[in-house]
């Protein structure tokens, strides 16, 4: 690429960043880094009525958590700042004036009530009101008025907006890097407002001016902005500026059915739609997702590498990313697949890493220090990690390694605890007390030998033994568990179960 690649992620701080927004940021980031370019964060906050306190912090924290640092943006110096549109406010007016001077835009005085009246009137007749070539001369603007009258009304302080003068009867040829060539008939377009009566530009004007001033080479954004492309291209032409290249990313669709993924889908099906917690909505971070897993699954939502490879770290993504391999059609969101990704990344962590991530959970459970010994915890996570999707799963999977069972699985008890089981367990305890080596293999050999000598069967001893140790029929190899929790703990558990379950079975 001859021109320096400069892309921007330009969210409006109107609430938390949706996971689709994070994907837009990610694709921008990958594209920039692939071509040694710059990734810029621009906060588009010209619509003050939709501004939400805390949203900008949220956006920045989310990018940071995902490991997508921006090269220029709010709080990071850069040659094209400021990077918040509200701080660039004074800059846009002259561009609106320039368009008016060039005859590419005009003043419009129509009040909100008047426009609403037209809208309703049209609706009643089954039509849509569009402010454009076919009716603009009948409306209240500087094209329908005498020039002096318009000037006078402005001078008298009357409120007005500046609208783009869409030329009629033109066929616009637009190019999208993902969708190819698109033809738009200008007669179908409306004269969009560029500048508002509150002295602020609309999204369209500010966006184009800033992309130009910030030397943006490629605009990569969500498909919902595709309808704005015609206006944006016309604005570049009107200013006689070179337009950037455009790529509109496919929507992220609901797990089932039609339509784009919404917050409600997440609530209904129990998965996050935000990267981080926002008010009552829990995010990917709080659910226990690793940021690498989130980045990986997002990259494959709408893009494919053209191979079977599914696991990519960020560096590999930068290398493999190719915008021409982004799909045109919507990408279906699959919550199970996101879990699968997390599981894959969990398996990649070392036992020591997982053990230390598990520590805060153990701390919250008020355990003796010996049970939180890092080497002990490491052995346990190593045993159980292939059953875990999140670090938080470890507690449920391994609770019995840390404290004796508080209850026993009712069904297993009914099935496994016979009238003489408590007695057998009592005899087993005496045998276990006599052992000097409690290492896994020796223990297994000895206990199995004892079962033979006692003329008992494995089925009579091992399932109730597991129930006594674990409280359930789950878990890894029984002798591994016993060896890990140790001789005295194992014996205590068997004794306790023999008493408690013995009483129950004799009722
Ligand atoms: N401010 C727009 C948004 O909230 C940016 C669209 C664009 O990237 O041009 O998504």
pLDDT 10s digits, 199-222: 899 999 999 999 999 999 999 999
Question: Ligand 1 pocket check: which of 58, 207, 243 to mutate, most ligand atoms within 8 Å of Cβ?
Answer: 207
Burial class (CB in 10 A: 0-12, 13-18, 19+), 439: exposed
Checking if the pLDDT of 60 tops 70, the result is yes
- Report which ligand 1 atom has the smallest distance to the Cα of 44: 1
Predicted pLDDT of residue 332 = 97
CA of 267 to the centre of ligand 1 (A): 25
Predicted pLDDT of residue 507 = 58
CATH topology of domain 253-348: 1.10.1160
Predicted pLDDT of residue 181 = 98
Predicted pLDDT of residue 426 = 98
CA of 12 to the centre of ligand 1 (A): 7
Residues in the chain: 507
According to CATH, where is 3.90.800.10 located in the chain?
Answer: 89-195
CA of 224 to the centre of ligand 1 (A): 9
Place of tokens 């069972």: 405
Checking if the pLDDT of 504 tops 90, the result is no
- Report which ligand 1 atom has the smallest distance to the Cα of 11: 4
According to CATH, where is 3.40.50.620 located in the chain?
Answer: 6-73+208-252
Domain 89-195, what architecture?
Alpha-Beta Complex (3.90)
- Asked whether the CA dihedral 132, 134, 139, 143 is positive or negative, the reply is positive
Using one digit for the tens of pLDDT, what is the confidence trace for 135-166? 999 999 999 999 999 999 999 999 999 999 99
Averaged confidence pLDDT in the chain: 96
According to CATH, where is 1.10.1160.10 located in the chain?
Answer: 253-348
Cβ(255)–Cβ(265) below 8 Å: yes
- Pick from 218-222, 224-228, 256-260: least confident: 256-260
Where does ligand 1 bind, in terms of residues with CB under 6 Å? 10-12, 44, 203, 207, 221, 225
* Class at the top of the CATH hierarchy for domain 352-505: mainly alpha
Predicted pLDDT of residue 201 = 96
| 283-293 mean pLDDT | 98
Q: Which residues are catalytic?
A: 263
Give the list of residues 6+ apart from residue 274 with CB closer than 8 angstroms, or none. Answer: 16, 17, 18, 19, 62, 263, 281, 283, 284
Q: Per the structure block, which two tokens stand in for 271? A: 């998965």
| 411-436 mean pLDDT | 97
pLDDT above 70 coverage of the chain, percent? 99
Predicted pLDDT of residue 234 = 98
CATH superfamily for domain 6-73+208-252: HUPs (3.40.50.620)
Checking if the pLDDT of 129 tops 80, the result is yes
Predicted pLDDT of residue 48 = 86
Q: Report pTM.
A: 0.94
CA of 301 to the centre of ligand 1 (A): 19
Predicted pLDDT of residue 366 = 87
């Amino acid at each position: 690429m001859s021109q320096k690649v400069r892309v921007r992620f330009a969210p409006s701080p109107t609430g938390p960043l949706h996971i689709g927004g994070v994907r837009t940021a990610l694709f921008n980031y990958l594209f920039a880094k692939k071509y040694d370019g710059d990734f810029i964060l621009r906060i588009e906050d010209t619509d003050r009525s939709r501004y939400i306190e805390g949203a900008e912090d949220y956006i920045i924290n989310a990018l940071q958590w995902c490991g997508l640092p921006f090269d220029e943006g709010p709080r990071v110096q850069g040659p094209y700042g400021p990077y918040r549109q509200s701080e660039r406010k004074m800059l846009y007016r002259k561009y609106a004036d320039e368009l008016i001077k060039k005859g590419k835009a005009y003043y419009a005085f129509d009040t909100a009530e008047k426009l609403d009246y037209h809208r309703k009137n049209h609706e009643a007749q089954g039509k849509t009101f569009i402010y454009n070539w076919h009716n603009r001369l009948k409306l209240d603007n500087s094209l329908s008025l005498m020039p002096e009258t318009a000037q006078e009304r402005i001078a008298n302080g009357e409120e007005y907006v500046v609208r783009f003068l869409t030329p009629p009867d033109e066929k616009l040829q637009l190019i999208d890097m993902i969708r190819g060539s698109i033809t738009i008939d200008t007669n179908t377009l409306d004269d969009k407002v560029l500048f508002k009566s509150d002295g602020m530009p609309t999204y369209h004007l500010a966006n184009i001016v800033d992309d130009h001033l910030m030397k943006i080479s490629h605009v990569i954004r969500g498909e919902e902005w595709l309808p704005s492309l015609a206006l944006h291209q016309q604005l570049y032409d009107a200013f006689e500026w070179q337009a950037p290249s455009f790529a509109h990313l496919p929507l992220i669709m609901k797990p089932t059915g039609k339509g784009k993924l919404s917050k409600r889908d997440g609530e209904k099906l129990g998965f996050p739609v935000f990267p981080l917690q926002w008010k009552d909505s829990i995010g990917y971070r709080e659910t226990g997702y690793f940021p690498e897993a989130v980045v990986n699954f997002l990259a494959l939502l709408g893009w494919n590498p053209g191979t079977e490879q599914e696991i990519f770290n960020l560096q590999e993504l930068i290398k493999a990313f190719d915008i021409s391999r982004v799909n045109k059609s919507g990408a279906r969101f699959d919550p199970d697949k996101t879990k699968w990704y997390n599981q894959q990344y969990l398996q990649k962590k070392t036992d020591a890493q997982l053990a230390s991530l598990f520590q805060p959970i153990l701390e919250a459970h008020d355990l003796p220090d010996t049970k939180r010994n890092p080497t002990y915890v490491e052995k346990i996570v190593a045993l159980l990690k292939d059953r875990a999707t999140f670090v938080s799963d470890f507690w449920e999977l391994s609770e019995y390694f840390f404290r004796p069972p508080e209850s026993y699985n009712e069904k297993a008890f009914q099935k496994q605890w016979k009238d003489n089981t408590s007695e057998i367990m009592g005899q087993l305890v005496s045998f276990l007390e006599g052992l000097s080596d409690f290492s896994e293999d020796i223990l297994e050999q000895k206990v199995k030998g004892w079962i033979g000598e006692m003329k008992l069967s494995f089925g009579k001893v091992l399932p109730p033994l597991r129930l006594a140790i674990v409280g359930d029929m789950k878990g890894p190899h029984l002798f591994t568990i016993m060896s890990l929790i140790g001789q005295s703990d194992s014996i205590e558990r068997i004794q306790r179960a023999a008493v408690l379950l013995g009483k129950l079975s004799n009722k």
